Amino acid sequence: MNRLIQLLLRYGVPLVALNVFLEQIGAPVPAVPTMIVAGALTREGRMSSTHLILAAMVSSLVADYIWFLLGRRYGYRILRTLCRISLSPDSCVRDTEANFEKWGMKSLLVAKFIPGFSTVAPPLAGATGASSLTFLLYDGFGAFIWAGASVAAGRTFHHAIGQILKRLEALGWWAVVFAISLLALIIFVKWWQRLRFYKRLRVARVTVDELKAMLDGGDEPIVLDVRAPTSRKLDARRIPTAIVARMEEIDRHIRDVPPHREIILYCT
pLDDT over 90, % of the chain: 17
Whether 251 and 163 share a structural domain: no
- Better-predicted residue by pLDDT, 223 or 169: 223
| Structure confidence at residue 194 (pLDDT) | 64
Whether 27 and 120 share a structural domain: yes
Domain edge (last residue) among 183, 202, 221: 202
Q: What is the reported pTM?
A: 0.66
Q: Give pLDDT tens digits for 128-176.
A: 888 999 999 999 999 999 999 999 998 888 777 766 666 666 555 565 5
Domain edge (last residue) among 202, 218, 241: 202
| Structure confidence at residue 6 (pLDDT) | 65
Q: Give pLDDT tens digits for 40-57.
A: 888 877 778 899 999 999
Whether 134 and 233 share a structural domain: no
Whether 237 and 124 share a structural domain: no
Domain total in the chain = 2
Domain edge (last residue) among 170, 202, 234: 202
| Structure confidence at residue 118 (pLDDT) | 80
Whether 132 and 216 share a structural domain: no
Residues in the chain: 268
Whether 49 and 109 share a structural domain: yes
- The number of beta carbons lying within 10 Å of the beta carbon of residue 199 is 9
Q: What does the alpha-carbon distance between residue 172 and residue 3 come to, in Å, rounded to a whole number?
A: 9
Whether 171 and 229 share a structural domain: no
Whether 39 and 145 share a structural domain: yes
Whether 106 and 233 share a structural domain: no
Q: What does the alpha-carbon distance between residue 77 and residue 135 come to, in Å, rounded to a whole number?
A: 20
Whether 64 and 187 share a structural domain: yes
Whether 112 and 226 share a structural domain: no
- The number of beta carbons lying within 10 Å of the beta carbon of residue 21 is 22
**Cβ–Cβ < 8 Å for 243, 253:** yes
Whether 196 and 220 share a structural domain: no
| Structural domain containing residue 232 | 208-266
